[in-house]
Amino acid sequence: MSRPYVIDQMISAKSIAARIEALAREIHAAFDGTDKLVVVGLLRGSFVFIADLVRELDLPVEVDFIEASSYGDGMVSSREVRILKDLRGTIEGRDVLIVEDIIDTGHTLSQVTDYLRSRHPARLKTIALLDKPARREVDFKADWIGFEIPDAFVVGYGIDFAQRNRNLPFIGQVRFTDKPVNAA
Ligand code: PRP
């Protein structure tokens, strides 16, 4: 059985919503006049963020998904990023925004960005809700970041701990405890 833990709220649902509104305004300004923006969610962690973000975007939008994995169910990042599911649509000559939940070591987003850039999109930009710069192993900077956070173990709003807690409406911090608790 896994070690018991509790989840302390780190970023409220209200703060996330307010930040997404502001980010959407910046994205709108950057892609104003686009024919159609292809918003690419990196599965699985981005599914909540992309759902909220596209609904704030007053632009013609197509939604696609790509799945890459670097962690499996463990907590240690490997350097090899595998593409588990590719895009359905074509992005050549299109404006693309890659949506990620969190940048940790940077391997995932940097390798997925290189992979999609090789398909010659017109413009390719990246956004991540959370950024942990202290953990960075590769030199990668997203175009937009929701919140910079310390090196904490976070869950919720799409982010999991061993495939649990993705459905929390806020970003929480995992705190292990020796006392038995009812973890969500
Ligand atoms: C997590 C997260 C990012 C990546 C960040 O994905 O969603 O995609 O790790 O880590 P990095 O910057 O060190 O590469 P994970 O592989 O756990 O898959 P998931 O999105 O399905 O949860």
Q: Of the ranges 5-19, 58-72, 88-102, 115-129, which one carries the lowest mean pLDDT score? A: 58-72
The answer to whether 104 is a known catalytic residue is: yes
Residue with token string 């307010």? 18
Of the candidates 64, 56, 137, 53, which has an alpha carbon nearest to the alpha carbon of residue 103? 137
Find all residues with CB under 8 Å of 62, minimum gap 6, and list them: 36, 37, 38, 39, 89
Integer angstrom CA distances of residue 42 from 126, 129, 182: 11, 12, 30
The catalytic position among 95, 101, 104, 131 is 104
SS3 8: strand
pLDDT band per the 50, 70, 90 thresholds, residue 71: low
All domains in the chain, ordered by first residue? 13-149 (3.40.50.2020)
pLDDT digits (tens, 9 = 90+) for 129-176: 999 999 999 999 999 999 999 999 999 999 999 999 999 999 999 999
For residue 76, what pLDDT is reported?
Answer: 58
Please give the backbone phi and psi of residue 21, each rounded to the nearest 5 degrees, phi first: -60, -45
Q: Which ligand 1 atom is the nearest neighbour of the CA of 166?
A: 22
pTM: 0.93
